[in-house]
Amino acid sequence: MILAAALAVLLYLNLTIGSVPLPLAEILKTLREGPSSGTYGSIIWEIRMPRMFAALILGGALAVSGFLLQTFFANPIAGPFVLGISSGAKLVLSIVMIGSMVAGRTLHSAAMIGAAFIGALMSMLIILVISGRVKKMSVLVICGIMIGYVCSAVTDFLVSFADDSNIVNLHNWSMGSFSGSNWSHVGVMASLGGISLLLAFLLSKPITAYQLGERYAVSVGVNVKRFRVELILLSSVLSALVTAYAGPVSFVGIAVPHLMRGLFRTTKPHVMIPGCFLGGGVFCLFADLIARTMFAPTELNLSSVTAVFGAPVVIWTMLRRRGGRV
């Protein structure tokens, strides 16, 4: 309920606030009339609505990806950003982007997502190798953060060698932003995000068993090997999707599942997966609103906003847990 209300309010705010303020009546009128009706129409239909849906879907995808990773590693601070998965996706994607710029071609959506997915999987594999060797969660997280730094450094390095005119574009993206979303992007996000979300939801049952630990999951008949692969692929697809369109966005993946757990007082996946999706969407709508209005017309980068709000949540959760176990 709270979530639905917050969602409604934020959807409204995201449409109404901007460099051209639009009153509610205008919005409703424009929505009724459909696209291509004057300035207001194009602001709403071409700029704000796609951006709004992008924030909603990608935010949700990130949060669900975070929830899956937290389940997988039985670690409360796992998330696509912390484990270096977003940064891995960013690295491979920027290599491909620069490559295509040099070749003078524009990249297709599918190629971008594919590249991000490969990057996400590469980071994931490194993390898995590490997690096979050390059982300590703190070590795992530190390694993830280091992978993230290395990938970001290499990306920065590549960016400084890229063609000048393209740098601004690439740089903006590598800081995270929902700007420049259009309807065809939203279509891809919605279909890919929707499918992944559905698949994640179908994994609810084994996820519940897995929350009791691997041995118990096996003992009630979960094929743990297959389940782990499914979980990894899904969370990689979700974070790759986000990275492909919005760049790496920090803290949504960690913070939102915690907030939702606090809100619903449960970890049941059939509540948490839709909950995280909505929560992530709300969180990103809010963050995006702040990013573009706080110092308008200058736009803040999204990751800074999500970090400001997300990091305290993580710290708070850590302190609240008994013994601060990592």
Partner 1 sequence: MDVLVSAEDLCAGYDGKAVVSGLNLELRRGGITALIGPNGSGKSTILKTLAGQLPPVSGRVFLKGRGLGTMSEREIASVMSVMMTERVDPELMTCEDVVSVGRFPYTGFMGRLTAHDRDVIRQALETAHVFELKDRDFNRISDGQRQRVLLARAICQEPEVLIMDEPTGFLDIRHKLELLQVLMKMVRERGTAVLISMHEIELTRKFADTVICLKDGKAGPAMPPADALGRGAVCRLFDLDEDQYDWLYGEKQALTGSDPVQGD
Interface residues for partner 1 in 60-119 (CB under 8 A)? 76
Cis peptide before 297 (omega within 30 of 0): yes
Q: How far apart are the C-alpha atoms of 320 and 326, rounded to whole Å?
A: 12
What's the min distance (Å) between Cβ of 214 and partner 1?
Answer: 9
Answer for the pair 253, 80: CB distance below 8 angstroms, yes or no: yes
Answer for the pair 65, 284: CB distance below 8 angstroms, yes or no: no
Nearest to 69 by CA among 202, 233, 247, 310: 233
Binding residues with partner 1: total (CB under 8 A)? 25
Q: How far apart are the C-alpha atoms of 78 and 70, rounded to whole Å?
A: 5
211 binds partner 1 (CB under 8 A): yes
What's the min distance (Å) between Cβ of 256 and partner 1?
Answer: 15
135 binds partner 1 (CB under 8 A): no
Interface residues for partner 1 in 5-24 (CB under 8 A)? none
219 binds partner 1 (CB under 8 A): yes
Answer for the pair 60, 293: CB distance below 8 angstroms, yes or no: no
What's the min distance (Å) between Cβ of 266 and partner 1?
Answer: 6
Per CB under 8 A, the list member of 37, 166, 267, 293 interacting with partner 1 is 267
Answer for the pair 91, 279: CB distance below 8 angstroms, yes or no: no
Sign of CA dihedral 202, 206, 210, 212: positive
263 binds partner 1 (CB under 8 A): no
266 binds partner 1 (CB under 8 A): yes
198 binds partner 1 (CB under 8 A): no
Answer for the pair 158, 150: CB distance below 8 angstroms, yes or no: no
Looking at residue 1, the DSSP 8-state letter turns out to be -
213 binds partner 1 (CB under 8 A): yes
Per CB under 8 A, the list member of 222, 238, 276, 278 interacting with partner 1 is 222
In terms of CB distance, is 102 or 212 closer to partner 1? 212
184 binds partner 1 (CB under 8 A): no
Which regions of the chain does DSSP assign to beta strands (E)?
none
216 binds partner 1 (CB under 8 A): yes
Site of interaction with partner 1 (CB under 8 A): 76, 202, 204-205, 208-209, 211-213, 215-216, 218-224, 261, 265-268, 270, 322
